[in-house]
Amino acid sequence: MSTVTLKKRTQTGVTMIEVLVSVLVLSLGLLGMAALQGVSIQTNQSANFRSQAVYLAQDMLDSMRVNPGRTSATNTAVAPNPPVWVTAYTAHLPFYARVYGGSVQTTNALATADVTGWLQRIARELPAGDGQIAVNGRVVTVSIRWSDQRFAERFGFTGTDADLTEYAYEITI
């Protein structure tokens, strides 16, 4: 009878290939996580800017509501035939009007202090921040704009003012 001898074959290099493939998969996963973290930071910063804008707009409107100068009767641009309390309550509003980049020009000292302090907070808390207040009778629109360059670059906005973001809050007082 003949005997069959089986030679034991050894695998060479297969373990090394498995290790290389697993390292490749792991590195791709880590790169994906790093990219996700970068996008998360950008959008979180943009959300923070928007939250600050909302807070600053509401703060300005609150300042306008509590200005004790509201009892002066110097405004004639109030809605037709409003109740007396409305006229007295809104008479100070035109003192707050300001356009982007414009100076604060008013004879109401408290309105000047409110708007000046508000503009300083906007400039301090938002990059290239500026504010605008439009008054049309009892309707007040407070607008805040700022530069959100990272967000604009991330989503491919182009143009002269592509990086400017604006938040407007309109309310009837």
In a domain, 142, yes or no: yes
In a domain, 90, yes or no: yes
Can you give the pLDDT at residue 106? Answer: 64
On whether the CB atoms of residues 69 and 111 are closer than 8 A, the answer is yes
Can you give the pLDDT at residue 77? Answer: 38
Can you give the pLDDT at residue 40? Answer: 87
Can you give the pLDDT at residue 33? Answer: 95
Domain count, the chain: 1
Can you give the pLDDT at residue 88? Answer: 44
Q: What is the pLDDT along the chain (173 residues), one digit of tens a residue?
A: 567 666 666 666 678 888 899 999 999 999 999 999 988 887 888 889 999 999 999 998 888 877 755 433 333 333 344 444 344 445 566 667 666 666 666 667 777 788 888 888 998 999 888 888 888 877 888 889 888 876 666 666 665 566 778 888 888 87
Alpha-carbon Rg for the chain in angstroms: 31
In a domain, 133, yes or no: yes
In a domain, 161, yes or no: yes
Can you give the pLDDT at residue 85? Answer: 38
Backbone angles phi, psi at 128, to 5 degrees: 55, 40
In a domain, 21, yes or no: no
Domain containing 75: what range? 51-172
On whether the CB atoms of residues 42 and 151 are closer than 8 A, the answer is yes
pTM over 0.85: no
Backbone angles phi, psi at 10, to 5 degrees: -105, 145
In a domain, 125, yes or no: yes
In a domain, 63, yes or no: yes
In a domain, 35, yes or no: no
